[in-house]
Amino acid sequence: MDDSPEKIEPGTGVLYGIMAGISILLLILLPFQTDSAPDGQGWWTAPALMPTISLVFFAGTAVYLFVQNLLAARRSNAEIDQAAVRAELFEWLRPLEYFIYYGIYIWLLGLVGYFLSSAIFAVGIAMRVGLRERKWVYFSILFALALTALFRWGLNIFFPAPALFEIMPGGLRTFLIRNF
C-alpha cells in the first residue's frame, strides 16, 4: 500500500465547485425551461427527460469530485499556493476564448452570410493559432468554400438571407442567397 500523500492539483477544487454550482443551478432552472410529457403519452416522451438525466449525472459527479477534493486537501494539510490556483484556473478558462470566437461567428452568419462568416472565422482561428503565412490564409478560405459547398450543395442546407445580401441588386442577391 502506498503511504505517499495524495497529490492535490491547485485550482481543481475551485473548478469542481464551480461546475457543481452551475449544474445545480441548471437543474433548478430546468422546470422553467422545458415542458412535461404531452397528454396521453408516457413520461419517457417528456422533453425534460434527457436534460434531467444528464444534469443529474453531471451534478452528482461534480459534487462528488468537489467533496473528494476538499477531503483530500484536509487530509494533506498542505499549504495552498494562491498563485498556483490562479494559474490553474486561468488554464481552465483559456478555451473560453474560442467559445467567444465561435459566438462571433454565429453572430456574423446573420450579417454577412455563411461563406463570408466561415472564411472570417477560419482565417481568424488560423491567425490566432499562429498560422500567419499566406498559404494558410488561402487554405482557410478554401476550407470555408469547401464547407459552404458541402452544406449548400451537398446537404442542401440553407440559411435565411443575411443583411448584407439585402443591399445587393436582384439577380446578384438571388445568386448569393442560393450559393453563399
Task: Region of 159 please: left (phi>0), alpha (psi -120 to 50) or beta.
Answer: beta
Cα separation, 29 vs 7, in Å, equals 36
Compute the average pLDDT of residues 9-23: 84
Q: What percent of the chain has pLDDT over 70?
A: 89
In this model, does residue 75 exceed pLDDT 80? no
* pLDDT confidence tier of residue 49, bands split at 50, 70 and 90: confident
Residues 6 or more apart whose Cβ sits within 8 Å of residue 10: 80, 81, 84, 85, 87, 88
Least confident of 49-53, 74-78, 102-106: 74-78
Q: Give the CA count within 13 Å in the CB-facing half-sphere of 114.
A: 20
Tens-place pLDDT, residues 112-165: 988 999 999 999 999 999 999 999 999 999 999 999 989 888 888 887 888 888
Q: For cell 439577380, name the residue.
A: 171
In this model, does residue 77 exceed pLDDT 80? no
Among residues 24, 64, 26, the alpha carbon closest in space to that of 48 is found at 26
Least confident of 15-29, 32-46, 51-65: 32-46
Q: What integer pLDDT is reported at residue 145 of this predicted model?
A: 93
Q: What integer pLDDT is reported at residue 1 of this predicted model?
A: 46
In this model, does residue 64 exceed pLDDT 60? yes
Among residues 124, 106, 103, the alpha carbon closest in space to that of 114 is found at 106
Query: What would you measure as the largest C-alpha separation in the chain, in angstroms?
Result: 78
Alpha helices in 34-113 (DSSP H): 49-76, 82-93, 96-112
Q: What integer pLDDT is reported at residue 84 of this predicted model?
A: 76
